[in-house]
């Protein structure tokens, strides 16, 4: 590697993986979060029991077999958490101040054991915070699809993020 004014001989310039600052969020972008996440039975049972959700539709295979889908379904809160979680490294890692809220959460199709969840996000709004200088409010619309492209979840999330140069 040739020497540059930024990097003396033999040294490498560190690059920190981070999310986007307020100014970097692009209203015209479709952020595709990869890799996808193949959901296992163990994922579903662990998440369901860990969150004290005793819904038989997630835990009881025999009972679920008698229900309209004929099998256990992945806990929709796992679907939501994974959709949002898959966006973190690309969008908000180290640049988020707080989640401000969720709205318009839908699950139009179930996620099944063995399905792979792929998530994507668009930015629908951004504005500087009126009460918190150096921070901005971003509205994100997350969509989760299975391996066939079928939408299994959507959510609108509002986050407070740092502006460039203002992060501590």
Which residues does the chain have with pLDDT short of 70?
1-7, 168
pLDDT at site 54: 92
Q: Supply φ then ψ for residue 114, to 5 degrees.
A: 90, -10
Instruction: Give tens-digit pLDDT for 93-109.
Output: 999 999 999 999 999 99
Instruction: Give tens-digit pLDDT for 37-57.
Output: 999 999 999 999 999 999 999
8 A C-beta contact, residue 79 and residue 99: no
8 A C-beta contact, residue 85 and residue 130: no
What residue ranges define each of the domains in the chain, with the CATH number in brackets? 22-162 (3.10.129.10)
pLDDT at site 16: 83
**For residue 74, cis peptide bond before it (omega within 30 degrees of 0):** no
| Residue that is written with structure tokens 């256990």 in the block | 72
Residues in the chain: 168
pLDDT at site 7: 62
pLDDT at site 117: 98
């Amino acid at each position: 590697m040739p020497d540059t004014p930024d990097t003396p001989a033999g040294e490498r310039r560190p690059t920190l993986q981070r999310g986007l600052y307020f100014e970097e969020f692009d209203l015209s972008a479709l952020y595709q979060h990869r890799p996808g996440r193949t959901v296992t039975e163990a994922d579903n049972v662990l998440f369901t029991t860990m969150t004290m959700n005793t819904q038989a539709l997630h835990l009881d295979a025999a009972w679920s077999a008698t229900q309209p889908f004929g099998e256990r379904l992945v806990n929709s809160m796992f679907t939501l958490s994974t959709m949002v979680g898959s966006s973190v490294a690309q969008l908000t890692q180290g640049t988020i101040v707080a989640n401000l809220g969720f709205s318009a959460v839908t699950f139009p199709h179930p996620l099944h054991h063995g399905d792979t969840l792929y998530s994507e996000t668009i930015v629908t709004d951004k504005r500087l915070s009126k009460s918190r200088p150096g921070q901005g409010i971003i509205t994100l619309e997350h969509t989760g699809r299975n391996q066939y492209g079928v939408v299994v979840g959507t959510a609108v999330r509002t986050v407070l993020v740092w502006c460039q140069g203002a992060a501590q």
